[in-house]
Amino acid sequence: MFSRILVGGLFAGFLAGAIAAVLQLAFVQPVLLQAELYESGRLVHFGAARTAGAAVETAGIDLWRDGLSVLFAILLYTGYALVLVAAMALAAERGIRITARQGLIWGMAGFVSVQLAPALGVPPELPGTAAADIELRRAWWVVTVAATAAGLALVAFGKGWTMRGVAAALILAPHVVGAPHPASFAGPAPPEIGSLFAARALGVGLAAWALLGLLGAWFWLREGNRREDAQRAA
């Protein structure tokens, strides 16, 4: 069982992370680089002209930075994949059949838990944006992810209205308490760039998690079929 989880998680995570990295470089990084021009003061907004010597171009090729971004995405989604495939293994042990369709649903649940629900309180932020204390935001993020994941699990596998009520309470609780925010909001980049950055970051996350769920289920089924074939051959 452990080797099956490990193989499925590593392969699914590597592929999903690599594709997520390509999407980030194509859609998210150009917005981030543009925001960094405002953070450095090379560009200013509110209708002001460009600062002296500032260039319009926002992107350049930085192989070291891009390489680290790719590596981080692969490691991150590999970790997510190991957790996701382990959850599939637990479900399979309890008689739940894992299919490609269910893998997609599990991937969507992972996206909602890890990215969408936390973004309702603390959306993806550009460099230089005013923000609350990092430890408070990290703690709220962890609680929100755990509560949302537990709530969705109860929605999927719980029985009766009591379980559904507990699920709703868990999902809503972090947002009722509220995410930590700074006393005032400020940032060097135009708000339009901030909203574009958040939208693209979430869009890439959605695509990556959907792929992660599909690949995780596919590798889980593939490893199971391979082991069954090996046992029959023996």
| SS3 of the chain: helix, strand, coil, percent, to 5 | 75, 0, 25
179-216 pLDDT per residue, tens: 998 887 777 888 889 899 999 999 999 999 999 999 99
Identify the band that residue 35 occupies on the pLDDT scale cut at 50, 70 and 90: confident
Q: Which amino acid is at 196?
A: L
Beta carbons within 8 Å of 98's beta carbon, 6+ residues apart: 88, 91, 92, 217, 220, 221
134-157 vs 161-177: helix crossing angle, rounded to 10: 170
Q: What is the pLDDT of residue 57?
A: 46
Burial 17-38 (b: 16+ CB within 10 A, else e): bebbbebbbebbbebbebbbbb
pLDDT digits (tens, 9 = 90+) for 43-65: 776 654 454 344 444 444 578 88
Predicted confidence at residue 98, as pLDDT, reads 87
- Judging by beta carbons within 10 Å of its beta carbon (0-12, 13-18, 19+), is residue 192 exposed, middle or buried? exposed
- Is the per-residue pLDDT at 149 higher than 50? yes
Query: 86-90, 172-176, 180-184, 224-228 — which is least confidently predicted?
Result: 224-228
Residue with the larger pLDDT of the pair 159 and 115: 115
- Alpha carbons 145 and 161: distance in angstroms, whole number: 23
pTM, entire model: 0.86
pLDDT at position 56 is: 41
Q: So what's the pLDDT on residue 127?
A: 78
CA–CA dist 35, 99 (Å, integer): 42
Exposure string for 66-92, b = 16+ CB within 10 A, e = fewer: eeebbeebbebbbebbbbbbbbbbebb
Mean local confidence (pLDDT), 104-108: 95
Could you tell me the pLDDT band of residue 225, with boundaries at 50, 70 and 90?
Answer: low
pLDDT of amino acid 142: 96
Neighbours of 126 (CB within 10 A): 23
Q: Are 126 and 189 in contact (CB under 8 A)?
A: yes
Is 234's pLDDT higher than 70?
Answer: no
CA distance 94 to 199: 37
Q: How far apart are CA 138 and CA 133, in angstroms?
A: 9
Give one word for 61, left, alpha or beta, with left for phi > 0 and alpha for psi -120 to 50.
Answer: beta
For residue 94, pLDDT beyond 80 = yes
Kindly report which listed range (57-66, 72-81, 119-128, 182-191) carries the lowest average pLDDT score: 57-66
Positions of E strands within 131-174: none
Residue 17 pLDDT? 96
pLDDT on residue 58: 42
Neighbour count for residue 120 (Cβ, 10 Å): 12
Per-chain mean pLDDT for the chain? 87
DSSP for 167-208, written as a single string:
HHHHHHHHHHH-----SS---SS-HHHHHHHHHHHHHHHHHH
